[in-house]
């Protein structure tokens, strides 16, 4: 496309294009357009916001239509919504060229839409520079200046207490509440597996909707996952990342497969579309009793907060951009800069939160010691470790609820756990430390660290009791 595009090209009213999935679609420049994506989800393209006689609007509409040939329908639909909200500012909707005054309008734009505007304006500057002020072009080309001018997007990811990454206290509280609810039969195995899938992997709802039985392979007690890439509308081959399921998720999946077997590899695993998965996930956590120490109220939860947590924790642990991209199942490292852009802002809240959380985790063990199984609250509720300790007993469960956790690891931080004084705690501790060094998932490393802390607490209490 030439830089003098708007002056030389006659103003069309529609264009026929080939979508990313190979479908042919005719898009009208100035009308609202309904379209379904690869997952049969209906989206609205708000091209009706553009005025027919406005060359700026015509150029923007052309750019967005071009994007439909290279990007997902979901992405373009979100951009049109962002511009719809931006156009509510009268000086924008009636403008025939853009100048730096648009920056002030962007500052008040909904934080969820803000990140989608600058890339389009940069395309406009490239293809139609006569429609955008040189000062604004210079500003757009300097990403650091843009970030300094409006760091809201980055704060959303790294430090927003309601929409950004969880603190470790919040993450642990969510996991404990989830495990307790399942042990008390307050949530189903299907919901429990769904919740842990998102929490342990950070996958998007759209990826879970595309997950099939053929994407999971059970190898003894391990599960290999073929995570479908999300940002691909292609029908034939959208690509995937191969990943080993963390231990607790593998346990959930194996139980799920036993309860809901399916002979067809192409059958949907959860049998829900992306919208249904998002709603279901949020509903699951709304039923739980949770608490955020920084908010002093229940924890706001959505699926993407676990994604942000996965990325920010990995960054704090020194992961590279390529490692983060693979962790988030990104095709490229382009978007990782948004996570890394405010690393100084990222480090301090995490460090501050971790400092506060030391007190929280100072008592990782919450149960009571017993001298023998005869002292257990419930008889015939022995907990043994077959994986690390060849079936030796380490304690008892103090609840009648059927629990399907990763025993005994999950038991260590459970308030119903009653550990035996004479159990081989030193051996179990050493096994967990060895596992910790071999575990690749940072999220599971944190979970294991809590178990290690609980064993240290138990051993300290045993020492005091015997003193």
Least confident of 53-57, 107-111, 329-333, 426-430: 329-333
**Of 282, 349, 287, 271, the residue nearest 315 (C-alpha):** 349
Question: Given a cut of 70, is residue 10 above it in pLDDT?
Answer: no
What pLDDT does 402 receive? 55
What pLDDT does 32 receive? 94
What pLDDT does 147 receive? 46
As a whole number, the mean pLDDT across the chain is: 78
Of 318 and 222, the structure prediction assigns the larger pLDDT to 222
CA atoms within 13 A on the CB side of 426: 2
- Band (449; pLDDT cuts 50, 70, 90): confident
- Band (105; pLDDT cuts 50, 70, 90): confident
Other beta carbons within 10 angstroms of residue 351's beta carbon come to 11
- pTM of the full structure: 0.52
Of 338 and 285, the structure prediction assigns the larger pLDDT to 285
CB 334 within 8 A of CB 231: no
Question: Given a cut of 80, is residue 457 above it in pLDDT?
Answer: yes
Q: Over the stretch 142-168, which tens digit does the pLDDT of each residue have?
A: 654 544 444 444 454 546 788 778 887
**CB-based contacts of 55: which residues, under 8 Å, 6+ apart?**
6, 11, 96, 131
How would you label 129-140 residue by residue, b for 16+ Cβ within 10 Å and e otherwise? eebbbeebbebb
Question: Given a cut of 80, is residue 134 above it in pLDDT?
Answer: yes
CB 361 within 8 A of CB 451: no
Q: Which two tokens stand for residue 453?
A: 């802390």
Q: Which two tokens stand for residue 260?
A: 């809901």
- Band (414; pLDDT cuts 50, 70, 90): confident
What pLDDT does 448 receive? 67
Longest dimension (CA), the chain: 91
Q: Enumerate long-range contacts of 100-107, CB under 8 Å, 24 or more apart.
A: 100/133, 100/135, 100/136, 100/139, 102/136, 103/136, 103/139, 103/149, 103/150, 106/150, 107/149, 107/150
What pLDDT does 183 receive? 84
In the block, tokens 């501790």 appear at 429
Tell the CATH superfamily of the 168-356 domain. Intergrase catalytic core (1.10.443.10)
Q: Over the stretch 192-216, which tens digit does the pLDDT of each residue have?
A: 999 999 988 888 888 888 889 999 9
**CB-based contacts of 323: which residues, under 8 Å, 6+ apart?**
314
Question: Given a cut of 60, is residue 401 above it in pLDDT?
Answer: no
What pLDDT does 307 receive? 84
Q: What is the dihedral sign for C-alpha 6, 8, 13, 19?
A: negative
Read off the pLDDT of each residue in 373-389 and give the average, rounded to a whole number: 82
Q: Select the highest-mean-pLDDT range: 223-237, 246-260, 359-373.
A: 246-260
Domain boundaries of the chain, sorted by first residue = 5-150, 168-356, 373-466
DSSP for residue 232: -
Question: Given a cut of 90, is residue 465 above it in pLDDT?
Answer: no
């Amino acid at each position: 496309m030439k830089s003098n595009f708007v002056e030389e090209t006659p103003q069309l009213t529609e264009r026929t294009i080939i979508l990313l999935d190979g479908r042919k679609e005719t898009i009208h420049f100035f009308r609202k357009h309904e379209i379904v994506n690869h997952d049969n989800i209906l989206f609205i393209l708000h091209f009706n916001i553009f005025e027919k006689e406005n060359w700026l609007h015509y150029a923007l509409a052309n750019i967005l239509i071009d994007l439909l040939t290279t990007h997902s329908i979901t992405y373009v639909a979100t951009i049109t919504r962002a511009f719809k909200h931006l156009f509510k500012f009268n000086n924008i909707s009636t403008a025939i060229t853009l100048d730096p005054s648009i920056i002030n309008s962007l500052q008040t734009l909904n934080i969820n839409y803000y990140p989608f505007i600058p890339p389009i304006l940069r395309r406009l500057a490239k293809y139609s520079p006569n429609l955008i002020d040189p000062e604004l072009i210079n500003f757009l080309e300097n990403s650091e200046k843009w970030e300094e001018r409006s760091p809201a997007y980055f704060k959303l990811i790294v430090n927003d207490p309601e929409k950004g990454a969880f603190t470790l206290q919040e993450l642990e509280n969510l996991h404990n509440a989830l495990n307790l609810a399942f042990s008390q039969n307050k949530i189903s195995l299907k919901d429990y597996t769904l919740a842990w899938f998102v929490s342990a992997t950070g996958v998007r709802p759209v990826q879970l909707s595309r997950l099939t039985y053929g994407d999971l392979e059970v190898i003894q007690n391990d599960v290999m996952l073929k995570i479908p890439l999300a940002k691909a509308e292609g029908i034939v081959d959208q690509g995937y990342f191969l990943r080993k399921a963390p231990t607790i998720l593998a346990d959930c999946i194996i139980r799920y497969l036993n309860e809901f077997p399916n002979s067809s590899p192409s059958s949907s695993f959860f049998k829900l579309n992306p919208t249904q998965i998002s709603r279901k996930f949020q509903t699951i956590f709304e039923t739980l009793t949770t608490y955020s120490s920084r908010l002093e109220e229940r924890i706001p939860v959505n699926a993407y907060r676990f994604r942000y947590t996965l990325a920010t924790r990995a960054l704090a642990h020194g992961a590279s951009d390529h490692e983060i991209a693979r962790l988030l199942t990104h095709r490229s490292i382009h978007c990782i800069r948004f996570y890394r852009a405010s690393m100084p802002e990222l480090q301090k809240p995490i460090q501050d939160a971790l400092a506060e959380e030391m007190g929280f985790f100072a008592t990782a063990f919450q149960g009571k010691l017993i001298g023998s199984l005869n002292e257990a609250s419930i008889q015939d509720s022995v907990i043994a470790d077959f994986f690390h300790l060849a079936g030796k007993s380490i304690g008892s469960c103090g609840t009648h609820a059927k629990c399907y956790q990763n025993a005994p690891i999950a038991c260590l931080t459970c308030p119903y756990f009653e550990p035996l004084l004479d159990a081989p705690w030193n051996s179990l501790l050493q096994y967990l430390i060895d596992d910790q060094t071999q575990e690749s998932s940072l999220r599971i490393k944190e979970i294991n660290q809590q178990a290690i802390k609980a064993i240290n607490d138990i051993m300290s209490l045993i020492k005091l009791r015997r003193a």
